[in-house]
Structure 1
Amino acid sequence: MAIELTKEETASIVPSLQKYFREELDQEISEMRAKMVLSYFLKEIGPFAYNKGVKDAEAFFRGKVEDLTATCFEDGLTYWVKKRT
C-alpha cells in the first residue's frame, strides 16, 4: 500500500528533496525528478515506515489496556467505608 500525499504536502517536500540532492549529492534535479524520487520512496519505503508506526502505536495502546484494570478499578462498598469515617 503506497502512502498518498496531498498536493500541498508534495509541494512542501519536493524543494527539500531538491535541496538534499544539491547539497548532499552535488546534483541538480528538476521538480519532475524530485516527484519521481518521492513517489518511489513512498511506494517502496513508505510501507515499512507505516507498518513500524502501526506496531509502535499498537504496543503503546496494548500497554495502556493492560493497565486499564489498575487505572479504573474502584474498591466495592466505598459508600459504607467512607460514611463510617
Structure 2
Amino acid sequence: MKPKIELSKEKKAGIVESIKRYFSEERDEEIGDLAAMLILEFIIEEIAPIFYNLGVEDSHAYVGEKLDDLFGIMK
C-alpha cells in the first residue's frame, strides 16, 4: 500500500490553478477545475511517490556519507 500524500486545501487550490495556467499558456487549452484536480490526483498517486523515493534515497546516501566521515575521526 502506497502512503497517501496529503495536501492542504490551499495547496491543492494553488496547484490546480498552476495546472490550469500551464494548459492555457503552454498548450493553448482551457481546462476546468475538475480536469485539473483529476490531473493533480493522478500526479499524487502515480508520479509523486517516485520523486519522494528518490529524495529518500538521496537523503540516505547523504547521511551515510556523513556517518562515514564521523567514523573516520575515530582514534
* TM-score of the two chains, using structure 1 as the length reference: 0.77
* TM-score of the two chains, using structure 2 as the length reference: 0.86
1:26 aligned partner, one-letter code: D
Structure 2's unaligned 5+ residue stretches are none
The count of residues paired between Structure 1 and Structure 2 equals 73
Q: Which residue of 2 aligns with 1:39?
A: 41
- Runs (4+) of structure 1 moved beyond 3 Å? none
- In the TM superposition, residue 3 of structure 1 has moved relative to its aligned partner by 1.9
Distance, in Å, in 1 between the alignment partners of 2:27 and 2:5 is 26
Q: Which residue of 2 aligns with 1:15?
A: 17
Distance, in Å, in 2 between the alignment partners of 1:63 and 1:26 is 47
Q: Which residue of 2 aligns with 1:60?
A: 62
Distance, in Å, in 2 between the alignment partners of 1:13 and 1:55 is 26
Distance, in Å, in 2 between the alignment partners of 1:39 and 1:70 is 46
- In the TM superposition, residue 59 of structure 1 has moved relative to its aligned partner by 0.6
Q: Secondary structure of 1:34's partner? A: helix
- In the TM superposition, residue 69 of structure 1 has moved relative to its aligned partner by 2.6
CA deviations over 1:1-36 (Å, ceiling 9, x no partner): 242211111011111100001111111011111111
Q: Which residue of 1 aligns with 2:29?
A: 27
Output the aligned Cα RMSD: 1.4
